[in-house]
Structure 1
Amino acid sequence: MSAVAVKHVEPEENGAVQSSHPIAVWKSRRNEHRLKVPTLDLLLSSSFPERQHLLFPWLREQESCMIYADTGVGKSLFALSLAIAVAGGGEFLGWKSDQRETGEPWRVLYVDGEMHIGDIQERARALIEAVPGIDKTQAGKNLSFLARQHQDPGTPFPLITDEDGMKFVVRQVAERRLDLVILDNFSTLGEVEDENSAASFNAIQQFLLNLKVQGVATILVHHAGKSGDFRGSSKLAATFETIIKLERMKEEAEHGEAQFRVTWDKVRAGGPKKRVRDVVAKLVSSDEEGEQSRQEWEYEAGSLSRLDDMKERMANGEFVTQKEMSDCYGLSKTMIGKDIEKGIRIGLWTDRQVNQWLTKGKQFRKIGKTFAPIPEGGSWRDEPDEAFQAFEEPPDF
């Protein structure tokens, strides 16, 4: 099935456009619903309901988000855990939903275009145990699944770039009173003629905007391209309030294991930009004797800028010892040791890499390719005067 194209349809005498495409429908109804065009005075004097967070602080009602990563990093594990947490009032990687004043739960639809329903069942059974504070009864009633591989042979499955597929999802939103729709993933749920053409994404962009008008939040799971960015035209990014990239932390991941870093490509201005932090997460299995394996999300949240800087400097051979690192960052050797161990634990580097990088640093220092780093806050102005008294005359540089 090819991508949906918006066809030009000549209006009839009464001005109505005869088409069922969302854009055409909007045009046909413009005489039925007057567009709101408030003045500045009216806008400033109006009050609007405060949008609550489905996941604080980065996903609110009627907002859309894209999550993308390379194949095998853990996109679906991330998205399914998130869905369970929202529907069941639990916590995922430190993020939690707001409590509605009405006490009603958040309702979630998970649309999967790739996995077998039995594999989804297996994952859901394991991940519900990995979400702290979950109300399993609530999650069980308020998270629904629409999976391609669960349908009978010959049953058409909705594509989010197809007119009928868009209408089907919108109906589900209304009938189930959904608050969040998760689309996993774009490559298996939609079709575009040319990923590099901005015009090819017109239909999906209008669909995502239409879902916002319907009052539902949306998460689109997508693949990274060869460049490391998400696949397709940059136009796709325009409609999202938040774009998250999951960066691989471990080259050789075991079956069912996920280890990644959550980074923020975009958080729309005016939103909670200052409150989002990078998160390094790992899904681990704990094998207890006589019991079934239990999965758990381990994560570190907060600023990782110093560890990132340490990694770059060590890999470049700039450090020879931990003492040089402590001088550079103004920390004790004990704190530097803890940072190195933390980097190993969360997957930024291995013990072997640290040894290799410090050995590289010694080789570079020996041939004069690098110099000892300047201590944090250090300056030539802090040198004692005696250091320059040996020169009777200024040296000729």
Structure 2
Amino acid sequence: MKDITDLIAQRAEMLYGPSIPHHGTSTHATAFHAEASPPGTPPPPPDFASCLLSAPELAAMQMVPRTPLLGEWMREGDLGYLFAPRGGGKTWLAMLIGKALAEGVSLGQWAAGQGPRSVYYFDAEMNQQDVQTRAEKIGISHPSFYWLSNEYLYMTLTHSANIADPRHQEGLSNMLPDGSVFIIDNLSTGQSGMRENENDDFDVIKDWLLSLRRRAITVIIVHHAGRNGEMRGGSRREDPAHWILSLKDATEDGSSAKGFVTRFSKCRNCRERDAPPLRWSLKETNGRFMVYCDPFGNTDAMLTYIQDGITSANELAEVFGVQASAISKWAKKLMNAGLIRKRGREYQLIEE
């Protein structure tokens, strides 16, 4: 004879279909909770158990690889940060990246991705005339590159966009097509009401950014460096990022060319050796910028890493993807030049 729980489960299966067993609860309990709640009662909790995947089920799923967009380091749906001190060249590089993505071409040492993308560049800082001038110097003219200027928004709608405002988030989401690229320049001027140093305040935009990821929208956020050289503000915003790209000014004294060095402090999509430091130079000729890019020399790059706190031979070897003997050889050159010294297992800068 069947007991009462078997009869209830059988009746529920007839009404609602087969139940899904989950950890810690019998099939009978799952079926019983499928009954509709009486009017006026709170809705039942989410049925997270229905979304459980066993290890074999996950392994058997057919995943579609995320499309490469630029080099080995950027893929469709990424959330990434590009940061530098004031005047470090972050807006120039952000515009160059947007141009390359809109045209589907390479940029410097970074290979082109799989086809062009629609790019939406939200400028929340500069005057529109300055944006126009920079676009002309870089040569941004592709019809799939769109500008959203806070100054033009204010002239047109009498208010600017605020990425921390849920209504504005909805408006921006409606503007962005699936699979597009959204560049926010920059985090400080693009929002109001979110305190930079308070980690909890980042929750105001975190869920919205994750909703864009689920639509395969790539988001690039331009931000400032703090006095310590790291990205300014609370660190929680870095957790969901696929990559973080830093810039350091490398403009030579007396030179009219803008120079900077790029280095990834975080990169989920590839190994550090596949996204090495690069030295960039923007030289103006007849009102247009020519872009030059070369690998950042081993000893120069090593000196930069030591400045950033990567000081042991093993850590440096991991970053460069070389043997510790190569690190020792480069370190000897730097020590002979009077730039570093070795204390125990650590390399230290020699301050002038």
Q: Do Structure 1 and Structure 2 share a fold, with TM-score over 0.5?
A: yes
**Over aligned residue pairs, what C-alpha RMSD do you find?**
3.4
Residue 227 (structure 1) aligns with:
228
The answer (yes or no) to whether the contact 1:192–1:201 under 8 Å persists in 2 is: no
Residue 383 (structure 1) aligns with:
none
2:115 counterpart of 1:88? no
Residue 30 (structure 2) aligns with:
none
Q: 1:52 aligns with which of 47, 67, 73?
A: 67
2:167 counterpart of 1:164? yes
- CA 1:123/1:311 → structure 2, altered by over 3 Å: closer, same or farther? closer
2:317 counterpart of 1:306? no
Residue 281 (structure 1) aligns with:
280
Shift in Å at residue 155 of structure 1? 2.5
Shift in Å at residue 56 of structure 1? 1.5
Residue 13 (structure 2) aligns with:
none
Residue 313 (structure 2) aligns with:
none
Work out the CA distance in 2 between the residues paired with 1:171 and 1:311. Answer: 42
The answer (yes or no) to whether the contact 1:126–1:295 under 8 Å persists in 2 is: yes
Shift in Å at residue 252 of structure 1? 6.1
The answer (yes or no) to whether the contact 1:58–1:242 under 8 Å persists in 2 is: yes
Tell me the amino acid that sits aligned with residue 299 of structure 1. C
The count of corresponding residues between Structure 1 and Structure 2 is 277
Residue pairs, 1:148-227, within 5 angstroms = 148-151=150-153, 152=155, 155-174=158-177, 177-227=178-228
Residue pairs, 1:116-127, within 5 angstroms = 116-127=127-138
Tell me the amino acid that sits aligned with residue 98 of structure 2. A
Shift in Å at residue 194 of structure 1? 3.2
Shift in Å at residue 310 of structure 1? 7.3
Unaligned stretches of 5+ residues in structure 2: 1-38, 307-327, 342-352
Shift in Å at residue 306 of structure 1? 2.1
The answer (yes or no) to whether the contact 2:164–2:204 under 8 Å persists in 1 is: yes
Work out the CA distance in 2 between the residues paired with 1:36 and 1:208. Answer: 23
- CA 1:89/1:154 → structure 2, altered by over 3 Å: closer, same or farther? closer
Instruction: Classify the secondary structure of the residue corresponding to 1:189.
Output: coil
Work out the CA distance in 2 between the residues paired with 1:241 and 1:279. Answer: 19
Residue 270 (structure 2) aligns with:
271
Tell me the amino acid that sits aligned with residue 213 of structure 1. R
Work out the CA distance in 2 between the residues paired with 1:125 and 1:180. Answer: 21
Identity of aligned pairs, percent? 22
Residue 71 (structure 1) aligns with:
86
Residue 125 (structure 2) aligns with:
114
- CA 1:42/1:329 → structure 2, altered by over 3 Å: closer, same or farther? closer
Tell me the amino acid that sits aligned with residue 105 of structure 2. G
Shift in Å at residue 271 of structure 1? 3.2
Residue 248 (structure 1) aligns with:
249
Work out the CA distance in 2 between the residues paired with 1:245 and 1:67. Answer: 6
Shift in Å at residue 262 of structure 1? 0.2
The answer (yes or no) to whether the contact 1:65–1:241 under 8 Å persists in 2 is: yes
Instruction: Classify the secondary structure of the residue corresponding to 1:166.
Output: helix
Instruction: Classify the secondary structure of the residue corresponding to 2:129.
Output: helix
Work out the CA distance in 2 between the residues paired with 1:109 and 1:280. Answer: 26
The answer (yes or no) to whether the contact 2:105–2:113 under 8 Å persists in 1 is: no
Work out the CA distance in 1 between the residues paired with 2:170 and 2:246. Answer: 29
Instruction: Classify the secondary structure of the residue corresponding to 2:142.
Output: helix
Shift in Å at residue 219 of structure 1? 0.3
Tell me the amino acid that sits aligned with residue 306 of structure 1. T
The answer (yes or no) to whether the contact 1:197–1:233 under 8 Å persists in 2 is: yes
Work out the CA distance in 1 between the residues paired with 2:193 and 2:157. Answer: 23
Work out the CA distance in 2 between the residues paired with 1:188 and 1:94. Answer: 30
Shift in Å at residue 284 of structure 1? 0.7
- CA 1:278/1:207 → structure 2, altered by over 3 Å: closer, same or farther? same
Work out the CA distance in 2 between the residues paired with 1:193 and 1:64. Answer: 19
Work out the CA distance in 2 between the residues paired with 1:233 and 1:264. Answer: 19
The answer (yes or no) to whether the contact 2:151–2:160 under 8 Å persists in 1 is: no
The answer (yes or no) to whether the contact 2:277–2:301 under 8 Å persists in 1 is: no
The answer (yes or no) to whether the contact 1:158–1:164 under 8 Å persists in 2 is: no
The answer (yes or no) to whether the contact 1:65–1:219 under 8 Å persists in 2 is: yes
Q: 1:140 aligns with which of 139, 142, 151?
A: 142
Tell me the amino acid that sits aligned with residue 301 of structure 1. P
- CA 1:239/1:153 → structure 2, altered by over 3 Å: closer, same or farther? same
Shift in Å at residue 93 of structure 1? 1.6
Work out the CA distance in 2 between the residues paired with 1:245 and 1:41. Answer: 39
Work out the CA distance in 1 between the residues paired with 2:251 and 2:270. Answer: 31
- CA 1:13/1:214 → structure 2, altered by over 3 Å: closer, same or farther? farther
Provide, for residues 114-160 of structure 1, a one-character-per-residue CA deviation record: whole Å limited to 9, x for no partner.
112222122112212xxxxxxx8xx6221111001113265322211
Work out the CA distance in 1 between the residues paired with 2:259 and 2:131. Answer: 19
Shift in Å at residue 277 of structure 1? 0.6
